[in-house]
Chain A
Amino acid sequence: MEQTHIQKEQTKYIIECLIFASEVPLTIEKIKDVLEETSKKELKELVKELIEDYHKLERGIFIREVAHGYQFCTKPEYAHLIQKFRKSKPYHLTQPTLETLAIVAYKQPVTKAEVELVRGVDCTGVLKSLLEKKLIAFQGRKDVMGRPFLYGTTSRFLEVFGLTDLSSLPSIEEIKQLKEPDFPQCEQDTQ
């Protein structure tokens, strides 16, 4: 019994190494490729434990579940210092960019014309900048006249916004519910 416990711990450490060594969020499938003996269910449990361990340790880094996988990252409270160190510029995401991204995320695969229909404005530039940022990508062409390009979000999108998968976006119903209490609030303001 004790033996299996040690083995389990060791498997956990290997998973830790794999997540660390991976350049992109590491999926359970990829872990399984290395640790063939362990079942996916067990692997998932161990990853969960590992995340918990880091949480308990209160270190500068933690493991997050993102883009169908797991990834080491720094805690938000130290962001300004890491920005200073990296000399990196965060994504400049303007309101139109975010709106367009939201539409692509929910309606994908979607054409430029369909995006423009929702926003009521030309979206050529915004889509191009999203493509350059690799937040969206081409997903083939739509089989209609003119064969327009279809756009969809990338796994980079999930990573940047810290989403596990597309289903972790709020559902359309949820958004509607969020919107409802907005109006009474307005009335209160006037009183």
Chain B
Amino acid sequence: MDYKVKLDIFEGPLDLLLYLIRKNEVDIYDIPIALITEQYLAYLDLMTVLNLDIAGEFLVMAATLAKIKSKMLLPPSIDSEEGEEEADPRAELMEHLLEYQKYKEVADQLKNRELLEKDIFTRIQVEEDIPELDKNSTMIEASLFDLVDALRTVIARKDLPGNLMEVAVEKISVRDKIGEILATVKKNQQIIFQSLFDGLSTRYEIIVAFLALLELIRLRAIKVFQVHPHGEIRIIALEREVRIDTILH
């Protein structure tokens, strides 16, 4: 038999199985396990040949298929005298596929809707206010990872010129920046990370601001945290006197 393989990118084993079911025009309620398993494994082989990484999930599904296939080969047990029907070994998989298919369907419907910022536009919304901190909100300390990630977003949003030489007329020092940030944070109780970089247009300025922030964290003059993981990074001042003149000497 000649397989003509169209290599769609399959999101996962369920996606691949649904594709195979559709391609073979078989009933999802009565999956010919032997056929589907064979084709499924052929796909995995192909992926290996193409040097694609096969995610673990694909292998787990291969094992599940093999298990179902072997169960189906066994004669039905004769123990059940009352004529109870034995559960179809495919039942669990079938249910799983049906459920997944349902959400795929919803996904398609969502995609076909008129989308905001694509088909429909509203007036530009300003960034939402930072919700007030209450006593119940958890503070998750932002890791260096989070900070670097946020910095990357800032730089990406700024759309900085690529390889242009930057000629800064007046360069601000990290030390000055520390003072500036500290003053802003103390004045506003809490500020969001992004706002530190508002109005900064050169890479140099952004890096200086970032270094200043790191220095302030090291000195425990401020605290950077998130209320939710991956949420907005906020900065608050800690009750601690920092003498700027002693910094960075």
Contacts and interface: CB of A to CB of B under 8 A. Distances in A.
Interface string B93-126: 0001001111111111111011111111111011
B102 A179 contact: yes
Interface string A141-180: 0000000010000000001111000000110100110110
Interface string A75-117: 1100100110010101101011011011101100000000000
Contacts of B147: none
Interface string B120-156: 1111011000000000000000000000000000000
B104 to A, nearest CB: 6
B115 A72 contact: no
A89 to B, nearest CB: 8
A38 interface: no
A71 B103 contact: no
B120 A169 contact: no
Categorize the interface residue count of chain B.
Answer: 35 or more
Interface stretch (A2-10, A46-54, A183-191): A183-191
Categorize the interface residue count of chain A.
Answer: 35 or more
A90 B115 contact: yes
A23 B126 contact: yes
A102 B101 CA distance: 11
Given A99-B11, A161-B113, A72 B123 contact: yes
A13 interface: no
B84 to A, nearest CB: 28
A160 B117 contact: yes
B25 A179 contact: no
B105 A98 contact: no
A36 to B, nearest CB: 25
B14 to A, nearest CB: 4
A131 interface: yes
Contacts of B228: 131, 137-138
B57 to A, nearest CB: 5
Contact of B102 (A121, A137, A176): A176
Interface of B: 11-15, 22, 25, 27, 55, 57, 61, 96, 99-111, 113-123, 125-126, 228-231
